[in-house]
Amino acid sequence: MSDTPETAADPILDRNASLADIGAVWATLASKPGTIEAAPVKAVGPEGVTVELAAGEATVAIAEFEGRTPAVGETVRVFVEQVLSAGPVVSASKARALDLFDRLEAAADRDEVVEGRVLCRVKGGLSVDVGMKAFLPDRRSDAPIGDIGRFWVRGWDERKDMFVLAREPRGTRERPDRADRGEPRRGREAPAATVDGVEGVAVAAEAAAPKAPIELPEAGAVLTGRVVRLAEFGAFVDLPGGATGLLHVKDLGWGRVQHPGEVVKIGDEVEVKVLEVKRAEGEGGKGDRIVLSRRALVPHPWETAATRLAVGARVEGPVISLADYGAFIEVEPGVEGLAHISELRWGAAPKHPKDVLRVGQRVSAEVILLDVEKKHLKLSLRKLAPNPIEALRERFPPGTRVTGTVRNVAQFGVFVLLDPATGYEGLVPTADLSWTPIAKPAAAFTPGQTVEALVLGIDEERGRCTLGIKQLAPAPELPSLDAFTVGATLEGTVVRVKDFGAFVALSPGIDGLLHAGEMGLAEGQRPKDRLKVGQRVSVTIASLDVEARRIGLRLAAAAESPAEPAPAAEPGPAVEPGPTE
């Protein structure tokens, strides 16, 4: 193996090549790296699209064409990345990106519109897809994600490394030239007239004449001014006397205003109240602070809300914010109401209001509480929607025999879908599945299984039917409890042992509950430490409820545990002598 380093296959990539050598090679290249060429398609295959350049053939991956594969003979634009001895290396996606960049720059120069889709909210505005990500300064929180809009391109921002967009053409929000208002330009000389080659002295003298001092208004004054500029945070208003004040976005009105352009436009005459005046040090009015307000001239809407709103009234407005507990709705400028999460829809409340509403969505609601003094307004959306309970009552009155599909099985019961179109469902509680107790409903019922049931009632809170399956069959005849009296002592067989006590079979079909507190257990001892299934015990009847068929027992004496426990007596299916398992 030779120790001599390999010679670079391409002289232009040789690190030892001089600048003159590289320049000589560069001059011979038919296709120059860093340029875009229009290349005809020669072939399309599984490895990619073959195009013909001045420097030879190159292959472009099919994935670079974003789902549309060009046909043979079609011309595509490609970016030349390198020209090697093996052939040129090109990219179609980079050519598209560079072409897009050029188009956006041209749109910025000509103040043209482009179409874009809102991707998401970012700090200070929105991220918009115009072929590449761009930034739109925007304080509005109601811009819907995915919205398609038309935007003006302001230009490339080096700091943000992306294009910056605007909602209005250039100059719409800029202060009009003072010459348009008949005022001299500050910091500029007026153009001098020329007569027979001699500048007009009168015009020059007029430009050099001292400017009239700006008169600041008094705080509390009510004035009429003209809107001369709009910004995200408010509108600038020229006032009598030459001063300019700021009408902040929050002082445009009592309602929520996202941008001043929603209320006023440049050139509008507006009546305002001067809230604050602060003169800056020095002359010329630069730095003077004048705070204006429009809403200060209008009574607060809550002061007269009682004349327009009442409990039971129907209102309409946009959703302005969402919280875990509900949605805030602006029913009129300055008057907002809360629709609690439980009032958003009938049936079970959503986990979060965003599951059923979005900010900016217009909704109708009914007033359910109005307190003008505390400025409290509570709303309900569900009261204006059809109540599914009424439909349930009409379609599934108690006693109706229905057929449905098992949707879900839980330990406490089985959910049955009654109407797939509306989603109406019913619940069969575990106690109503069978006359014989079922310990594990999942062992007897499976999702998708078709079952018949009887409507027992309507669950008003959850908007569903309460069903029973065992009611479709006659109830078994239960043994009488007449032979049992409080205080009687008798023997029985332990059939089940739980943490709270043991069930003892007293006779066929009749069980009693021997509670743990009636066993005389030592400290730390549990029922299973004292009793075993099949063990014979002597018990005393401590309580008897014939109607509920419950028998409470007290341990009298326990017999010796047999070496092989006797078979447990069959428990009575209808006797429920204690807490459920």
Q: In what order do the strands lie in the sheet with 75-84?
A: 56-60, 48-53, 36-45, 75-84, 87-91
Pairing between β-strand 244-248 and β-strand 289-293 as defined by DSSP bridges = parallel
């941008």: which residue's tokens?
Answer: 259
pLDDT of 139 reads 64
pLDDT of 395 reads 84
Q: Tell me if 153 sits within 8 A of 107, measured CB to CB.
A: yes
Look at residues 435, 440, 441 and name the one whose alpha carbon lies nearest to residue 414: 441
Look at residues 117, 121, 116, 173 and name the one whose alpha carbon lies nearest to residue 360: 121
User: What DSSP line would sit under 527-543, residue for residue?
Assistant: HHHH--TT-EEEEEEEE
Planar angle of CA 10, 16, 20, nearest 5 degrees: 80
Interatomic CA distance for residues 525 and 527, integer angstroms: 7
pLDDT of 152 reads 84
pLDDT of 366 reads 93
> How many CB atoms are closer than 10 A to CB 404?
23
pLDDT of 278 reads 82
pLDDT of 211 reads 54
Where exactly does CATH 2.40.50.140 map onto the chain? Answer: 11-96, 111-166, 222-297, 301-384, 388-472, 489-558
pLDDT of 450 reads 94
CA distances, 575 to each of 214, 435, 496 (Å):
97, 10, 14
CATH number for the domain formed by residue range(s) 301-384:
2.40.50.140
Phi and psi at 242, nearest 5°, equal: 95, -5
The domain 388-472 having CATH identifier 3.40.50.1370: the answer here is: no
Q: So what CATH class is 489-558?
A: mainly beta
Residues 6+ away with beta carbon under 8 Å from 394: none
Interatomic CA distance for residues 364 and 385, integer angstroms: 10
Residues 6+ away with beta carbon under 8 Å from 157: 135, 163, 164
CB burial readout 460-483, b (16+ within 10 A) else e: eeebbbbbbbbbeeeeeeeeebee
pLDDT of 513 reads 92
């068929």: which residue's tokens?
Answer: 549
As a three-state string, the secondary structure of 416-467 is EEEECCCCEEEEEEHHHCCCCCCCCHHHHCCCCCEEEEEEEEEECCCCEEEE
Give me the tens of pLDDT residue by residue for the chain, a chain 581 residues long.
444 444 445 666 666 666 776 666 667 677 778 788 888 888 888 778 888 887 788 888 877 877 677 888 888 888 888 777 777 888 888 888 888 888 888 888 877 888 888 888 787 788 888 888 888 887 655 667 777 888 888 888 877 788 888 877 765 544 444 434 444 433 333 344 333 343 344 434 444 445 556 788 888 889 999 998 888 788 899 888 888 888 988 888 887 777 888 888 888 899 999 988 887 665 545 567 889 998 888 888 888 888 888 899 999 999 988 888 999 998 888 888 999 998 888 766 888 999 889 888 999 999 999 988 888 899 999 888 877 777 788 888 889 999 999 999 998 999 999 888 777 889 999 989 988 888 889 999 999 999 999 999 888 767 788 999 999 988 887 788 888 889 999 999 999 898 889 999 998 888 899 998 888 888 889 999 989 999 999 999 999 988 878 899 998 865 444 444 545 444 444 444 444 33
Interatomic CA distance for residues 139 and 141, integer angstroms: 6
Interatomic CA distance for residues 329 and 377, integer angstroms: 10
pLDDT of 188 reads 37
Q: Tell me if 409 sits within 8 A of 368, measured CB to CB.
A: no
The CATH architecture to which 111-166 belongs is Beta Barrel (2.40)
The topology (CATH level 3) of 11-96 is: OB fold (Dihydrolipoamide Acetyltransferase, E2P) (2.40.50)
Interatomic CA distance for residues 148 and 497, integer angstroms: 68
Residues 6+ away with beta carbon under 8 Å from 395: 419, 424
Q: Which superfamily does CATH assign the domain made up of 222-297 to?
A: Nucleic acid-binding proteins (2.40.50.140)
